[in-house]
Amino acid sequence: MTSLLLSTAASATPYSQATLTHAERLHQHALTSDSALQTVESLTTEVGPRLAGSEGDARAVAWAQAKLQQMGFDRVYLEPVEIPHWERGYADARVTLPFPQPLVITALGNSVATPEGGIEASIIRFPTLADLQAAAPEQVSGKLVFIDHKMERDKEGRGYGPVVKARGVGAVEAAKKGAVGLLLRSVSTSSHRFAHTGVMRYIDGVARIPAVAISPPDADQLTRMLARDSDIRVKLDLEAMDHGTTTSYNVIGEITGDRKAEEIVLIGAHLDTWDEGTGALDDGAGVGIVTAAAGHILALEQRPQRTLRVVLYAAEEIGLLGARAYRDAHKGELDKHFIAAEADFGAGPIFRLDSRVNERALPAFDQMHALLAPLGVERGHNHSWGGPDVSVLPPLGVPVAGLSMDGTDYFDYHHTPDDTFDKIDPDAIRQSAAVYTLFAWLMANAEVDLRPIPLPEER
Ligand SMILES: [Zn+2]
């Protein structure tokens, strides 16, 4: 294997022989290291839930800063991010008539509380958001809207986009027609009785109605009830609290480049989580993967040519707020961002290398792929967005890579109390960390121009 890789590499121009020799050592080292797993274990155990703005979030920032300092990064610093601080509080829902029983629900992030004592109303079911949008207001007025859109399982999570829109705007669309609340079938591929939270939005000029997700089996239960009786009454009681704005921080660690220090290879993940699980898959795994990759490179006696910057973003879950703050704070050096990538889709394994770079640079990615192929990575496309937080950068011309993770099971756990450390597959996260290590090392040393990138299409 080694001789094959080195001989492939010997004829390759973007990566020097020394770069490739170190890559081979990094590959071997990363595959025997559990540092990514140990980092997730530490974060999920010692900090636990870390909803943006919460006390756990503040402890996560302190944990990350100490972790990066202890790992020996050349520079560790915090950048402030102004964020809203929302708190879930108590949440309860039950069918009152004609089949009284409790429902498993969770408030959607940013939801308002119900009035004191809760609200009780008949439900009206819509298979999709579009069906709600097409409905006559008199059908909806005074009711609890129930959107029952099932998510399809897919390795790349392609089932998420079509369904998650209802989570974001469902309450606004329902309120426009006079509804008193929203019950959303969880954006989930699981049949377990957990409700999946996630952020929702209000807009000015439309009534702010409470919005909750119900577990998939409870959504099925409501549908069965509606088949028996068109008038199903549900009582909803939410205590959600808006604590105004507060400050969180992007936590940043750098390994200073030894020849092109002003050029930046960014690898990121987000530090915040939802509040009910311990955020192992979303996104403790990403934090473990990118810090382990940098740690492996720090262990070499050879420094990368470019600066390797690890960004642990604040407040991703509540709307990419850390990503926007980073983009604005670094506006003056975005043209020095050589490439960026983010790990935010569980623990892996990584199955494909995607990119958004100048087409002339694709051979450098093909050669990188030759080194990643033994880890089970396929060569992918050139229209990557690089990950949620990093997706704000390509519109400003920054090249990105997508190290695509197998997310077949990701939406079974995503945003639930069940997103916990035991769900991390040690082999998968080790492979992901190895891929990130090679990617970061090769990009930090490549002799290639990745710009200008193909213009991002509107999303
Ligand atoms: Zn995430």
Residue-wise pLDDT for 134-161, tens only, equals 999 999 999 999 999 999 999 999 999 9
Q: How far is CA 48 from CA 145, 261, 271, 427, in A?
A: 33, 35, 11, 23
Is 337:264 a contact under the CB 8 Å cutoff?
yes
Mean pLDDT across the stretch 248-261? 98
3-state secondary structure of 356: strand
For residue range 339-388, what is the model confidence (pLDDT) as tens digits?
Answer: 999 999 999 999 999 999 999 999 999 999 999 999 999 999 999 999 99
Strand stretches in 273-343, DSSP E: 306-313, 337-342
What are the start-end ranges of the H helices in 126-159?
Answer: 129-134, 137-140
- In single-letter form, the type of residue at position 354 comes to D
| Mean of pLDDT over the chain | 96
Interval 219-244 mean pLDDT = 98
pLDDT of residue 217: 98
- For 64-103, what is each residue's pLDDT tens digit? 999 999 999 999 999 999 999 999 999 999 999 999 999 9
Structure tokens at 425: 């597959």
- In the reported structure, the alpha carbon of residue 267 is separated from the centroid of ligand 1 by a whole-number distance in angstroms of 14
Q: What is the pLDDT of residue 79?
A: 98
What is the pLDDT at residue 6? 47
Tell me the mean pLDDT in the region 216-229: 98
Q: Helices 35-42 and 55-71: crossing angle, nearest 10°?
A: 150
For the cut 60, the answer to whether the pLDDT of residue 7 exceeds it is no
283 Cα to the center of ligand 1, angstroms: 5
Catalytic residue ranges:
316
CA of 375 to the centre of ligand 1 (A): 24
Cis (ω within 30 of 0) for the bond into 349?
yes
- Residues around ion ligand 1, judged by CB within 5 A, are 282-283, 344
Distance 259 CA to ligand 1 centre (A): 34
d(CA 284, ligand 1 centre) in Å: 9
Q: What is the pLDDT of residue 458?
A: 57
279 Cα: distance to centroid of ligand 1 (angstroms) = 9
Mark residue 318 as left, alpha or beta (left: phi above 0; alpha: psi -120 to 50; beta: remaining). alpha
Burial of 48 (0-12, 13-18, 19+ CB in 10 A): middle
Per-residue pLDDT band at 459 (split at 50, 70, 90): low
DSSP string, 205-253: TS----EEEE-HHHHHHHHHHHHH-S--EEEEEE--EEEEEEEEEEEEE
- Cα–ligand 1 centroid distance for 162 (angstroms): 18
Question: What per-residue confidence (pLDDT) applies to 455?
Answer: 82
Q: What one-letter code names the amino acid at 104?
A: V
Please state, in angstroms and rounded to a whole number, the distance separating the CA atoms of residues 224 and 219: 9
Decide: 297 and 437 in contact? Cβ < 8 Å: yes
- Read off the pLDDT of residues 53-67 as tens digits, 9 standing for 90 and up: 999 999 999 999 999
User: Ligand 1 centroid to 305 CA: how many Å?
Assistant: 30
Residue 157 contacts residue 346 (beta carbons within 8 Å): no
Q: Give distance in angstroms: CA of 230 to centre of ligand 1.
A: 38
Supply the pTM of this predicted model.
0.95
What's the pLDDT at 13?
Answer: 83
Tell me the HSE value of 432 on the side-chain side, using a 13 A CA sphere.
Answer: 35
Distance 282 CA to ligand 1 centre (A): 4
